Amino acid sequence: MGFDLFEKSEKNDKDAAFRRRLIEALTNDEEVRRLICSMQAPGVAGEEKGEGKKEKREKYNRLLETAQALEAERDELQKKLDAANKSIAEAKDVIAEMENLFDANVKELEACQSSLAGMTQRAETAEQQLAAAQRKLDATEQERRDAIAARDKALRERDDAARARAEAERSCEAAQQARAAAEEENRSLVRELEQRFAQGKELYEQLDHVDAYIRSLLDGAIPRKGFEAFIVGLAQDRSLPFLWEAVREAMRKGCDTDVLTTLWEIFQYAITLVNQGKSQDIYAIDDVQAGDVFDVDEHTLVDGSRAQGNITEVVLPGYRNTYSGEIVKKSLVRI
């Protein structure tokens, strides 16, 4: 529709220009004006009868030539206009074809844009999937490295455990050898002790005949079981008071003579062992006899005795520290 308006407008402009030029040519020629006036006004034409026909003919011819020239120019302009219209029609066809092609290109572009949008979405999805796969791959790689590190650590720990086990086996073997040597040495020492402390061995075996209460009184002197512990306990200074008190308690409970004899012999043996461990004898059993005068600083009366006089019976001799002169336990006597 736009091209039709353009074509009509251009044609109208050319017709108007032709008319303007024709009117301008006619109106500028005085003779033409007069001729027109004579044709329109008979009175005026009569006034000009005196002019010659030849001059009129010439003017008419000039006017005719002018009109013919204008007509030829109009025809030429019409040809140019027709050519222009043809060009315009061709241009319209080209433009229509270009518009169709443009529309097709627009549709194709829209389809491409839509496809590109889809491809972009798929690319973004693929990129996300690739990133997720990369993260998973990284995690898998980390897990693989961790697994390798754990395996290497386990192998090192296994090797360390194997070395430790071998070392432990060597240590165990050495310990067993040392234990066997120690047991042999211990047996040798026991034999030596039994030979050296034959009396002690005999006294130790006699303890089996002493009741549990009396044996418990010896715990202060002999806290552990065994012959070695028995000898070691008797050889301690601090054991002597416990042993003496055990004899006294056995007398108070009325134990038989064999038990009292065993306990007293153990006490005497302990005095001997303690003194053997010193550079000189330190402890001694008081040498108190029946008939000796009672001395309250050295003797303790048993129940039923008189308050003074001579000793009639030594119930349990005491003992003293001969180095310091201190009486550790007073002798139990009866008057």
- Place 41 in a pLDDT band, splitting at 50, 70 and 90: very low
Residue 43 in tokens: 């009175």
Contact criterion met (CB below 8 Å) for 287 and 318: no
Which comes out higher in pLDDT, residue 4 or 187? 187
pTM above 0.75, yes or no: no
Residue 334 in tokens: 């009866």
Please state, in angstroms and rounded to a whole number, the distance separating the CA atoms of residues 278 and 122: 104
Looking at the predicted structure, is the pLDDT value of residue 90 above 50?
yes
- 50-64, 116-130, 212-226, 263-277: lowest mean pLDDT where? 50-64
pLDDT of residue 330: 95
- Place 47 in a pLDDT band, splitting at 50, 70 and 90: very low
Query: What is the mean predicted confidence (pLDDT) over 80-92?
Result: 84
- Place 27 in a pLDDT band, splitting at 50, 70 and 90: low
Residues 6+ apart with CB under 8 A from 249: 214, 217
User: Across 99-113, 214-228, 235-249, which has the greatest mean pLDDT?
Assistant: 235-249
pLDDT of residue 21: 66
Contact criterion met (CB below 8 Å) for 274 and 256: no
pLDDT in tens, 158-208: 988 889 888 888 888 887 888 888 788 777 766 776 677 888 888 888 887
Q: What is the mean pLDDT of the chain?
A: 82
**234 CB neighbour count, 10 Å cutoff:** 25
285-312 burial, b for 16+ CB within 10 Å, e for fewer? Answer: bbebeeebebeeeebebeeebeeeeebe
Residue type at position 302: V
Question: Concatenated DSSP letters for 46-58?
Answer: HHTTTS-HHHHHH
CA nearest to 273, candidates 221, 208, 314, 331:
221
End-to-end CA distance of the chain: 167
